[in-house]
Structure 1
Amino acid sequence: MFPVLETERLTLRQITDQDAEAIFSCFSNDEVTRYYGLENMESIEQAVSMVKTFAALYQEKRGIRWGIERRNNKELIGTIGFHGLAQKHKRAELGYEIIPAHWRNGFASEAISEVISYGFASLGLKRIGAVVFTQNKASNRLLVKKGFQKEGVLRQYMYQNGIPYDTNVYSILKSNE
C-alpha cells in the first residue's frame, strides 16, 4: 500500500491520473524546468506519461514519488520523492519541485523533512543524496539548511535544452540526522 505522509500543512500522497493537469502546469513552466534537466512539457499526454512513470518507480521498487498536496484546499503544488533507490546499498536520491506560485512558503522544506524521516525510518536508508544545478541557488541553500553536506561538483552532468550544466552533489547520512 502506497504510504501517505502528513505534515502540519501538507499531505504527501500517491500521484494519480487526476493529477495530470497539475503535473502539466508544473512541468510546462520554465521556472520549474530550467534547473530540472527536463524540457518543458507540451501536452497533457506527457503529464499522463509522467504519472505512469511515477507509478512504475514505486511498483518496481526503484523509488517513490509523492504528490505534495496542501491540506487546507487539496491543491497539488508539486512532487517529492526518491529515485535511484538501492535497498542493497541503503541509499536513494532525493528530488522535488514546487509550482512557483507556492515558492518561499516553506512547503519544500516541510516536505523534505518528512521524506527524509520516512527514508531513514521506514525504508532503512543510511544515505540520501541530491544532485542540484549549481545555478539553482534556492535549492542549494535549502539542502544545506536541511542538513545535507556538499560532496563536490559533477561537471557537465546534466543537459537542459541541449546545454550541459554543472551540478552540486549533496548527501545526508542517517548518522547526521
Structure 2
Amino acid sequence: MSQPILQTERIRLAPLSAGHLEHLVELSADPEVMRYLTGVQTREQSADELRRTLAYAGRGLGCWAGFVDGAFAGFWSLRPGESPNEAELGYRMLPGFWRKGLGKEGAGEMLRHGFRDLGLDRVYARTAAGNKASQATMASIGLRHVRDFVADPEHFAPGADLHAVEYAVGREDWLARNFA
C-alpha cells in the first residue's frame, strides 16, 4: 500500500516527496521548532533527513507534508515501530501554525489512518520530558503516558536534557473512544 493523500477539516496531508525539501529546510532551520529535537539543522542535514524519511515510506506508513489554505504548515508521520504492527507518531509544525489545534488535527488523522486504514495494533509517540505542548497534543488525541526514559543522545541537540517520555494507545482503546 502506498501513502494516500489524507485530508482533515483544515489540513491537506500530501505524501512527503523530494519536492518538499525546501519545506523541511525551513522547518529544521527554526530554533523554536527544533528546540526539543536535534537542534537547528543545515540544508545538508535536512536533505539527509529527507532521504532517510523517504526510505521508510511504504505499507501506508511514511511522512506527510501538511498544507493549510495552500500554505505549508508542517509534517506529520507514522514511522515503523519497534515491533511489528505498531508505528511511531511524529509531528513538527512552523510556529505560525501553533496553538490553533492543527497539531491535534493532523495527529488525530495519523491515528485514524494507522488504526482504520492500516490495522495497526499500537501507536506511540515520544518527546522530551520538557516538551509540555507536545505531551498535551498526545494526551488530547487519546495517547496515555506509559513511561519515562533517558533518550539516545542522537535524538537531541548536544548538551540537551535527555529525559524523555513515551505516550501510546492501542487499537481497541482508540476504536472504543472514537467509534463507540
Asked whether the two chains share a fold, i.e. TM above 0.5, the reply is yes
SS in 2 for 1:9: coil
1:172 pairs with one of 160, 169, 172: 169
Partner of 1:128: 123
More strand by share: 1
Deviation at 1:160, TM superposition (A): 2.0
Name whichever of 8-17 and 152-161 sits farther off.
152-161
Unaligned ranges ≥5, structure 2: 175-180
Q: Which residue of 2 aligns with 1:82?
A: 78
Aligned pairs for 1:70-149 within 5 A: 70=68, 72=69, 74-85=70-81, 89-149=84-144
- The alignment partner of 2:26 has SS state of helix
State the distance in 2 between where 1:107 and 1:93 align.
Answer: 19
Distance in 2 (alpha carbons) for counterparts of 1:152 and 1:2: 30
Report deviation, 1:157. Answer: 4.3
State the one-letter code of the partner of 1:13. Answer: A
Alignment root-mean-square deviation, CA: 1.9
Which among 151, 158, 163 is matched to residue 160 of structure 2? 163
Q: Does 1:66 align with 2:64?
A: yes
Q: Say if 2:3 and 2:61, in contact at 8 Å, map to a contact too.
A: no
Cα offsets for 1:15-65 (capped at 9, x unmatched): 2233222211110111111112x231122x333333322221114x59411
Tell me which stretches of 4 or more aligned residues in structure 1 moved more than 6 Å.
none
CA distance in 2, matches of 1:168, 1:62: 26
TM-score for both structures, normalised by structure 2:
0.86
The gaps in structure 1 that reach 5 residues or longer are: none
Post-superposition CA distance 1:122-142 (Å, at most 9, x none): 211111011111100101111
